[in-house]
Amino acid sequence: MSKIFIIGPDIIHRNFYFLNRFGEVSKFKSINNVKSAENVTLFIIEKDQHKEKSFRDFSRMFNVVPKLILSSDYSFRGFSSWLKLPLIYPVHNPNDKELIFLADRLISENAIQNENRRLNKETAQHNKELGFFENVGKILISDMELNKMLA
């Protein structure tokens, strides 16, 4: 089952019941409290979490998971460190409908990206196997030609 993590001291008090349709919702006061997470499909994080000590480790550990960065004010201060990372979507004080739309969109896009990664790995593996069988075929053909010449 997929998980959505809500991170930030102010937004954990907000009710995110409407996101339960996408998976289990867990709340944390800080990114320092998130050590490892399997099956996380989305992070909803307060903008000021970039000031935490473990921000760099967090960003490296979860670089393939989309993150909605929430800001309660309409200032762009504090977004710059987030925008350097992949899969970051800044949002200014979204309402419930906006969060539902964004969560659905980001989870769908993440699923497509994961499927593309899987298909690329499978294609590379199939290409290796195909190359092996081409080599075996060439060896068998050259062996048969050698037998004809010697006979």
pLDDT bracket for residue 15 (50, 70, 90): confident
Determine the Cα–Cα distance for residues 50 and 85; give it in Å rounded to an integer. Answer: 11
Per-residue pLDDT at 26: 87
Token pair 């393939």: residue: 64
Query: What single letter denotes the amino acid at residue 10?
Result: D
Q: For residue 88, what is the enclosing H or E element?
A: strand 88-92
Contacts of 63 (CB under 8 A, 6+ apart): 85, 86, 87
What are the Cα distances from residue 6, in Å, to 46, 70, 89, 124, 143? 8, 10, 14, 36, 64
Contacts of 135 (CB under 8 A, 6+ apart): none
Determine the Cα–Cα distance for residues 114 and 96; give it in Å rounded to an integer. Answer: 27
Q: If you average pLDDT over every residue of the chain, what do you get?
A: 87
Q: Any idea what the Cα angle at residue 93 is, between residues 90 and 99, rounded to 5°?
A: 75
Q: Are 26 and 6 in contact (CB under 8 A)?
A: yes
Pick the more confident residue, 130 or 85.
130
pLDDT bracket for residue 151 (50, 70, 90): low
Q: How many residues comprise the chain?
A: 151
What are the Cα distances from residue 87, in Å, to 10, 41, 62, 67, 79? 23, 12, 10, 6, 13
Whole-structure pTM value: 0.77
Q: Are 6 and 29 in contact (CB under 8 A)?
A: no
Write the pLDDT tens digit of every residue in 28-79: 999 888 877 778 888 999 988 888 888 888 888 888 889 999 988 877 777 8
